[in-house]
Structure 1
Amino acid sequence: MGQKANPIGNRLGIIRGWESNWYGNKKDFAGKLIEDNKIRNYLNARISKGGIARIVIERTLNKLIVTIHTSKPGIIIGKGGNEVDSIKEELKKLTGKEDVQINILEIR
């Protein structure tokens, strides 16, 4: 009695997907995990008023894809896409990858 299960763990694979989609061997795993945490902390601090619901990070060998689920995409995109471009440049500096892609999905 009193066995509690984490609700996110129950939903994984059924209703919801993973927050990070990449593979890392034992040597690289810790570094990538810390880098994911830095990306999430940076985005939550930079776009605190953007209504961020979820940040999904996908990696390939040379590419980083960050998908931001938000209720206010206009705040994140900015005028003419200037805000997204500056975020993309900061993520390039933070991760050291040249090919960074940011997808913004509106939730309702």
Structure 2
Amino acid sequence: MGQKINPLGFRLGTTQNHHSFWFAQPKNYSEGLQEDKKIRNCIKNYIQKNRKKGSNRKIESDSSSEVITHNRKMDSGSSSEVITHIEIKKEIDTIHVIIHIGFPNLLKKKGAIEELEKDLQKEVNSVNQRLNIAIEKVKEPYRQPNILAEYIAFQLKNRVSFRKAMKKAIELTKKADIRGVKVKIAGRLAGKEIARAECIKKGRLPLQTIRAKIDYCCYPIRTIYGVLGVKIWIFVDEE
């Protein structure tokens, strides 16, 4: 009947794991959930606030052997561009926060972690618990759908053709060891008044197989024509 399910939630317990690990009584569960949301939003806002405007990053494409200057300027709707996911592990007296990030140059600066811990401590308002923040760099950034969606967003904001941006994003996945990728973009493409959806697929993508490890993201892109939606599926491997 056309009903869809999130590929990540569909595979929880098999090939996907939870991003939050803690236990709470039913009456305190909502407080813990809101605390997790505050922590994640605080980290994303910190990266957005401290990123230098106009800083550039180079992304190399093996297929065309060209270097693309990647503008890191962020807007209010793209605060989590380089973060793939954030893991939160809560103990009795400690909250462990592991930030998985593709390009951790900003957080590697001197004093960045200490400043982020202070911001989180103010946001959480936890006196009896201390924060422990760890940065983990993603080994294969072009294997992460969030980073590919960010690349597409940058290209579209610079008036690159959406088809060309989608094809280049798929070419970047040649660096990673994957078995299939699918990119779908919907909205007022190329400024047309009638919204439509375009899709490009390469390789296999067994969405109905639970043992297939599939990474997925849904990423909004704010353009002068309105909001475009990008969805990316990546078939990593099969257990």
Return the alpha-carbon distance in structure 1 between the equivalents of residues 119 and 5 of structure 2. 37
Return the alpha-carbon distance in structure 2 between the equivalents of residues 16 and 47 of structure 1. 26
2:83 to 26, 43, 52: 52
What is the TM-score when the length of structure 2 is the normalising length?
0.42
When Rg is computed on C-alpha atoms for both structures, the one with the higher figure is: 2
Return the alpha-carbon distance in structure 2 between the equivalents of residues 57 and 73 of structure 1. 18
Return the alpha-carbon distance in structure 2 between the equivalents of residues 11 and 73 of structure 1. 28
1:75 to 96, 106, 121: 106
Q: Which digits, 9 at most, give the CA deviation of each residue in 1:77-97, with x for residues without a partner?
A: 213xx0001111222222214
2:22 alignment partner in structure 1: 22
- Partner letter of residue 72 of structure 1? F
Question: 1:29 offset after TM fit, Å?
Answer: 0.8
Task: Give the strand-richer structure, 1 or 2.
Answer: 2
Q: Which digits, 9 at most, give the CA deviation of each residue in 1:44-103, with x for residues without a partner?
A: 111135711101111011110001000112211213xx0001111222222214421111
3-state SS in 2 of match to 1:73: coil
Higher relative CO (Cα under 8 Å, sequence separation at least 6) belongs to: 1
3-state SS in 1 of match to 2:10: helix
2:121 alignment partner in structure 1: 92
- Partner letter of residue 24 of structure 2? G
Q: Which runs of 4 or more aligned residues in structure 1 lie more than 4 Å from their structure 2 counterparts after TM superposition?
A: none
Unaligned runs of 5+ in 2: 52-80, 141-239
CA RMSD of aligned residues (A): 1.6
Contact 2:22 2:90 in 1 (8 A): yes
Contact 2:42 2:123 in 1 (8 A): no
What is the TM-score when the length of structure 1 is the normalising length?
0.87
Aligned residues: 106
1:36 alignment partner in structure 2: 36
3-state SS in 1 of match to 2:134: strand
Task: Give the helix-richer structure, 1 or 2.
Answer: 1
1:10 alignment partner in structure 2: 10
- Partner letter of residue 91 of structure 1? L
The share of aligned pairs that are identical, in percent, is 31
- Partner letter of residue 4 of structure 1? K
